[in-house]
Amino acid sequence: MSLTRAFGRGFRDGLSVPGFVLISSFLGFGALIRQSEFTLVQGLLSTATGWALPGQIAMVELYTTGASFLVIALAVALTNVRLLPMTVVLMPVLRSASTPRWLPYFVVHWVAITGWAQALRVCPGMPRPARFPYFMGFSMVLWPGALMGTLIGYYLAGSVPLALSLGLVFLNPIYFMLVFAADLRIRTRVWALGLGALLGPVLHLYLPDFSLLVTGLLAGSLAFVLGGGLAGKRKGKAS
């Protein structure tokens, strides 16, 4: 597969369901910034530079409640810390012997939940030199699409019920869950999804402010152990 074909395949894949889901999610964010009296420029700048919807929502909600800059920065950092392990997992999958050393540092900005899930699903079956071009082609649809969704959502606010607009935000995590649920050969993945679904609502009753973080830590750790640890991971790859 040539690098151009790999980029084109990623671009075409981004134009399908993943792109539609992401744009729809950012429609909700655009409506949120309009309702929160942010300017369009601020909303677009947030999407262009941060491009992590949970962190962006946390920023807007805390700002509207009058939280200090330090509190907002800490909340956004905690919300987006998930991107670090996601990047650590993804880069070895994309990198090849011919990859320039600077390229991963450039591409890392486009690591987001949708592209990450797509790359882990598709790239292992591709030749290594084609994986970075595929990921970049895919991301070159999603990143501008997120900006377009923010823009359209901002101007649609008021003409569409707010509950409907904000509900679109949840399309992205639902899609992410379905992508991984479609391939249940890896036991660790099954345990992580199941334990997260069970522990999340229970922990929210007792730790509403930290339930998501604690659920991810507990469900992921237990899934790793129950799935056989590194041995289970190797077995999943071999299958």
CA 167 to chain centre: 17
Q: What are phi and psi of 160, to 5 degrees?
A: -120, 135
Chain position carrying tokens 């486009």: 110
Name which residue leads in pLDDT, 116 or 230.
116
Report pLDDT digits (tens) over 140-153.
Answer: 999 999 999 999 98
CA 157 to chain centre: 24
Looking at residue 196, its pLDDT comes to 87
Q: For residues 160 and 164, give the distance between their C-alpha atoms in angstroms, rounded to a whole number.
A: 7
Report pLDDT digits (tens) over 153-200.
Answer: 898 877 767 667 667 666 766 766 666 665 566 677 778 878 888 998
Is-contact 171 17, C-beta < 8 A? no
Measured from the Cβ of residue 225, the count of other Cβ atoms closer than 10 Å reads 12
Q: For residues 165 and 55, give the distance between their C-alpha atoms in angstroms, rounded to a whole number.
A: 18
**Does residue 230 have a pLDDT over 60?**
no
Is-contact 56 46, C-beta < 8 A? yes
CA 160 to chain centre: 25
Report pLDDT digits (tens) over 195-217.
Answer: 888 998 898 888 887 787 788 88
- Mean residue pLDDT across the chain: 83
The mean pLDDT value for 224-236 works out to: 64
Q: In the 8-state DSSP scheme, what is residue 169? A: G
| pTM listed for this prediction | 0.77
The mean pLDDT value for 100-126 works out to: 89
Looking at residue 140, its pLDDT comes to 92
Report pLDDT digits (tens) over 55-107.
Answer: 888 888 888 888 888 988 888 888 888 889 889 999 999 998 888 889 898 88
Is-contact 76 58, C-beta < 8 A? yes
Looking at residue 239, its pLDDT comes to 47
Looking at residue 13, its pLDDT comes to 92
What does the DSSP assignment read for 205-218? HH-TTTHHHHHHHH
Q: For residues 82 and 213, give the distance between their C-alpha atoms in angstroms, rounded to a whole number.
A: 10
Is-contact 191 210, C-beta < 8 A? no
Q: At what angle do helices 3-14 and 17-35 cross, to 10 degrees?
A: 50
Q: In the 8-state DSSP scheme, what is residue 186? A: S
What does the DSSP assignment read for 96-135? -TT--TTHHHHHGGG--HHHHHHHHHHGGGS-HHHHHHHH
